[in-house]
Amino acid sequence: MTDGTTDLADWSCPAPLRDHPVVVMGHGGGGALSAELTEHLFLPAYGGEVLAGLADSAAVSLGDARLAFSTDTYVVRPLAFPGGGIGDLAVNGTVNDLAMSGAVPAYLSCAFLLEEGTPLSTVGRVADQIGAAARAAGVQVVTGDTKVVDSGHGDGVYVNTSGIGLIPEGVDIRPGRARPGDVVILSGPLGQHGIAVLSVREGLSFGTGIVSDTAPLNGLVREMLLVTRDIHVLRDPTRGGLAASLNEVARASGTGVVLDERAVPVPEPVAGACAFLGLDPLYVANEGRLVAFVAREDADAVLEAMRGHVLGRDAVVIGACVAEHPSVVVARTALGASRIVDLPLGEQLPRIC
């Protein structure tokens, strides 16, 4: 045995995982393989009710406070890309996960995993990005950790951030709350982050000028909650894209989701790059967009509030929840046909966040 855990009780692989006895890139992609790992490996080992809710952040009680708590590790390559870098993602990604519970993000932890031999200037630049992004999002980094691994066992800089924030009274935003009749709103155009990262990967330069949408969404969510505290679901379509987010909500709530493909905004350069590369923009990662599920009677007011914020000025209704086809996402195409939008298997583009 080579894994160094031979003195532990033998671990028997649950049946649904047996097609993939070793870790593949897709296990980190936010799609069906990630979901399998969570359902059949992590949840049986240490899952409780909160973890099983599979929200972007956990809602927990501590004293009299209701908190959101979230964690993410950032492994994007390259470390910098048009529109941002790993430090921006590390702050905005975790801020956004908290905001997707309706929480007001307050404090972040920041843990660096460094590879021996990495220039300190690289670490310094990432740290400066983190500082600038934290100030922009209005959060404080209050605790940290640094570990170093030998050369060849890392990749320069990985960053984990975790975050906590207070959930305002009366707010209960989670995937399970979508219900038939809800209107689905998208805050802005799709696919910029994934394509921006891809465009600077070695050998894949498009020169298209596509810039990552990375941004902190807590300000936008604050404006939306001023309209109504009864937002049902918020989700930021990162790994796995909008398709993964809609599927997660459909499964958690048991509601069917109908997506109007013609309504989904995709910038021309993103659409062009996707066509060239054979990618579906519905599956490409975003880092500054959110999708909201709200009651029909609140939809107009929420949409108006979103359009009043710089990060929501292109917000549009892209679909609705229906009682038909429970837990399944169906797209109406431009030609009037219908197709099932499934959870992706893995990520089309590994290591984009």
DSSP 62: E
Q: Compute the distance between CA of residue 96 and CA of residue 92 in angstroms, rounded to an integer.
A: 6
For a copy of itself, the closer of residues 70 and 286 by Cβ is 70
For a copy of itself, the closer of residues 163 and 288 by Cβ is 163
State in angstroms the smallest separation of the CB of 287 from a copy of itself: 15
Closest CA to 174 of 260, 34, 60: 60
The two three-digit tokens of residue 52, written as one number: 């099983």
For a copy of itself, the closer of residues 158 and 283 by Cβ is 158
Helix (H, G, I), strand (E, B) or coil at 125: helix
State in angstroms the smallest separation of the CB of 14 from a copy of itself: 8
* Cβ neighbour number for residue 205 with a 10 Å cutoff: 10
Q: What number of CA atoms fall less than 13 Å from residue 150's CA on the CB side?
A: 0
State in angstroms the smallest separation of the CB of 90 from a copy of itself: 11
State in angstroms the smallest separation of the CB of 297 from a copy of itself: 30
What are the residues whose beta carbons fall under 8 Å from the beta carbon of 198, sequence distance 6 or more?
A: 204, 273, 277, 349, 352
Render the burial of 131-149: b for 16+ CB within 10 Å, e for the rest.
Answer: eebbeebebebeeeeeeee
State in angstroms the smallest separation of the CB of 126 from a copy of itself: 7
State in angstroms the smallest separation of the CB of 171 from a copy of itself: 13
For a copy of itself, the closer of residues 111 and 266 by Cβ is 111
For a copy of itself, the closer of residues 162 and 187 by Cβ is 162
The two three-digit tokens of residue 220, written as one number: 């936008």
For a copy of itself, the closer of residues 10 and 310 by Cβ is 10
